[in-house]
Amino acid sequence: MCIFALIKKSDMMNKNVINLNDVVIKFAGDSGDGMQLTGTLFSEAAAKSGNDLATFPDYPAEIRAPQNTVSGVSGFQVHIGKNKIHTSGDRYDVLVAMNPASLNANLKNTKRGATIITNVDAFDENALTKAGYSSNPLDDGSLESYSVIKAPVSSMTREALANSDIDLKSKDKSRNMFALGIILYLFNKTLDSTFEYLDAKFGKKPDVAKNNKLVLEAGYSYALHAEITLSTLHVAPAQLAKGKYRNVIGNVTTAWGFMAASERSGRPIFLGSYPITPATDILVELAKYKSLGVKTFQAEDEIAGICSAIGASFTGSLALTTTSGPGFSLKSEAIGLAVITELPLVIVNVQRSGPSTGMPTKSEQSDLYQALYGRNGECPCIVIAASSPSDCFYTAYEAAKLALEHMTPVILLSDGYIANGSQLFKIPSVKDLPPITPPVAQASDPEYLPYRRNPETFVRQWALPGTPGLLHRVGGLEKTDGKGAVSTDGLNHEKMVQYRNQKVQKVADFIPKQETEGDATGDLLLVSWGGTYGFVHAAAEVMREKGVKTGHAHFKHIMPLPKNTAELFGKYKRIVVCELNNGQFVNYLRAIHPQFSYEQINKVQGQPFLVEEIVEQLKK
């Protein structure tokens, strides 16, 4: 019997529907419970129904952390809305807790009055003890101020698969589908997009697809018939601009941005990379597109990753290397080589909590100093930072454009939050992106010299091996201006140091002016950079609602800064720089524009800001 057949359209109509502007849902369970997949599938369903959204996966570094422990809880946060969604949300309206540990870990960020869906079967004495409970919170009244749904997820999953001949362990693996069924019902979403996903994913294993569908339907049906709630929730479709969208994570859009830049510049992609959390997915995504001529090289280590890319850059590729903090440290010497050889290269650092191995799956913005200063010698690099999963596409594209046109390494700072978080990405057309024109030297150009520079940009030409008449050598040793012979002449060295520096500073002529959102002058300017955009944007909105004339300047271009930065800072009485580190951008600003007084809001907990935290700090 197909349970799904029992769900009639009339049943759905009878329910009270509560309309909401936005909802934050947190899926939490043991790592290995499939919460990442559950959250992703719910996001897909919400996106399909037209909601705007932002997601935030938050999981432990261990692949299968100890069961039922608080440290082993894996979570996936989704914020859906009918208006533009800027953050993954502060606190949860709905919490799915697959075991006591996930309830314990997430209750503090759950709103009073929120709906909590629990797998009551998992609340046995052993699991309660491991989670740190001395009594069962489902019975002891401690959850009185929440609306708790005690769903027998484990037992009903087994029941739904009673006629299946797979073993019990395999049956239990489908529990997440039961939970997803409940949530999809609760939010008035259809099962269609999830069915499509299951068919696609398990195309070769139709039995697995069928079992998962059975459990999904069972969860949906349970929610409907057991009357777990008097009403369902509805978030109306967002008023998004016309066009096509995809729900994608920042690491994927980063890869796409590079591929678009490759197509637009005509330079083939070479990515030299070594797997590292949370940057690996850029390599994973690029490795798929051999049909676009993408060459990915999984190197023996981080150093070989960047060095192979430098070799590819010398021979004419759009050369990339991707990493996170510890790997970025290992690449420092080779970044210096790319600076002195003046070759185009993009180094992506998807930042995570440091120092050293730190907290690999947790996000932070603490590698800014390293990006700006972390090399021997006078060694300037262009530094730009992406602000959201969608913006990763455009920032990657611009990083490639700047590297190729200015013949110098560009450091692209992303972070774990936007790299793994998703957002609706409006699909652009490649032809609408700005052109990219690298300064490739012409064959047998009699004027060619390896270090002859464009007098306005100080950019040298790119002479590719295989081109007649342009034989030359580059390398880590200082070279003479123009001719490029090895030189230890002090005055020549100083001249070359200044050229390389001015070349990077000149980039300021080619980047857009810094913009502000909100009030263009006033009491307060909130300054941020990188992956914190949404939270600081939302905090600025709250301040304006409170009557404070507030602007928000979110920086993408860090080295060099936009030319109008000081002019813009001068328009506000108070400047507060918000960042997820101990104050690296604020100190950089203090060094470059010391005429202003800066306040700072910092957080280094491996977690994104909460909007309310920023607002709270601003009161001080």
Partner 1 sequence: MNNIDERIPKSDVVLSKSDFVSDQMVKWCPGCGNHAILSAVTQVLPQLGYKKENYVVVSGIGCSSRFPYYVSTYGFHSIHGRAAAIASGMKIANPALSVWVNTGDGDSMAIGGNHFIHAIRRNVDMTIILFNNRIYGLTKGQFSPTTPTGSVTKTSPYGTLEAPFNPSDLVMGAQGTFFARVADNQPKHLAEVLHEAALHRGTAVVETLQNCVIFADKTHAQVTGKDVRDDNQLVLEAGKPLLFGKDKNKGIRLNGLRLEVAEIGKNGVTADDILIHNPSEPDPTLQMMIAKMSPPHFPMAVGVIRSVEAPTFDRLTEEQINEQKAKSPIRCVDDLLNSGDIIEIR
| Interacting residues with partner 1 between 366 and 385 (CB under 8 A) | none
Per rule CB under 8 A, is residue 242 in the interface with partner 1?
yes
Considering only 114-122, 362-370, 422-430, 611-619, which stretch makes contact with partner 1 by CB under 8 A?
Answer: 422-430
CB of 262 to partner 1, least distance (A): 8
Distance CA 35, CA 57 (A): 9
In this complex, which beta carbon is closest to partner 1, that of residue 16 or of residue 488? 488
Q: Which residue of 27, 56, 185, 256 would you call a contact of partner 1, by CB under 8 A?
A: 256
Per rule CB under 8 A, is residue 243 in the interface with partner 1?
yes
Per-residue contact string for residues 303-322; x = within reach of partner 1 by CB under 8 A:
xx--xxxxxxxxxxx-x---
Handedness of CA 441, 446, 451, 452 (dihedral sign): negative
CB of 100 to partner 1, least distance (A): 35
Strands 269-273, 318-323: parallel, antiparallel or unpaired by DSSP? parallel
Considering only 275-283, 406-414, 463-471, 562-570, which stretch makes contact with partner 1 by CB under 8 A?
Answer: 463-471
Q: Which residue of 44, 367, 391, 579 would you call a contact of partner 1, by CB under 8 A?
A: 44
537 to 222, 277, 416: CA distances (angstroms): 40, 27, 19
CB of 9 to partner 1, least distance (A): 23
Per rule CB under 8 A, is residue 48 in the interface with partner 1?
yes
Per-residue contact string for residues 467-496; x = within reach of partner 1 by CB under 8 A:
xxxxxxxxxxx-------xx----------
Per-residue contact string for residues 502-531; x = within reach of partner 1 by CB under 8 A:
------------------------------
Per rule CB under 8 A, is residue 259 in the interface with partner 1?
yes
In this complex, which beta carbon is closest to partner 1, that of residue 141 or of residue 243? 243
Single-letter residue type at 600: Q
Q: Which residue of 8, 64, 201, 290 would you call a contact of partner 1, by CB under 8 A?
A: 290
Q: What are phi and psi of 137, to 5 degrees?
A: -60, -20
Distance CA 307, CA 325 (A): 17
Considering only 29-37, 41-49, 87-95, 221-229, which stretch makes contact with partner 1 by CB under 8 A?
Answer: 41-49
Per rule CB under 8 A, is residue 399 in the interface with partner 1?
no
Strands 73-81, 22-30: parallel, antiparallel or unpaired by DSSP? antiparallel
Per rule CB under 8 A, is residue 430 in the interface with partner 1?
yes
521 touches 571 (CB < 8 A): yes
| Interacting residues with partner 1 between 329 and 348 (CB under 8 A) | 333-334, 336-337, 341
80 touches 51 (CB < 8 A): yes
Distance CA 457, CA 478 (A): 20
Q: Which of 221, 208, 220, 227 is nearest to 161 (CA)?
A: 208
Distance CA 378, CA 336 (A): 9
Per rule CB under 8 A, is residue 423 in the interface with partner 1?
no
Q: Which residue of 13, 241, 491, 591 would you call a contact of partner 1, by CB under 8 A?
A: 241
Distance CA 595, CA 538 (A): 28
Q: What are phi and psi of 240, to 5 degrees?
A: -80, 155
Single-letter residue type at 574: R
603 touches 614 (CB < 8 A): no
Q: What are phi and psi of 163, to 5 degrees?
A: -90, 0
Distance CA 475, CA 47 (A): 50
**Residues with Cβ < 8 Å from 402, sequence gap 6 or more?**
382, 384, 408, 410, 507, 510, 511
Q: What is the DSSP letter of 359?
A: B
**Residues with Cβ < 8 Å from 543, sequence gap 6 or more?**
524, 526, 550, 615, 618
Considering only 426-434, 492-500, 519-527, 574-582, which stretch makes contact with partner 1 by CB under 8 A?
Answer: 426-434
CB of 350 to partner 1, least distance (A): 21
CB of 256 to partner 1, least distance (A): 6
Residues making contact with partner 1 (CB under 8 A): 44, 47-48, 50, 193, 240-247, 256, 259-260, 263, 268, 270, 272, 289-293, 295, 297, 299-301, 303-304, 307-317, 319, 333-334, 336-337, 341, 424, 427-430, 465-477, 485-486
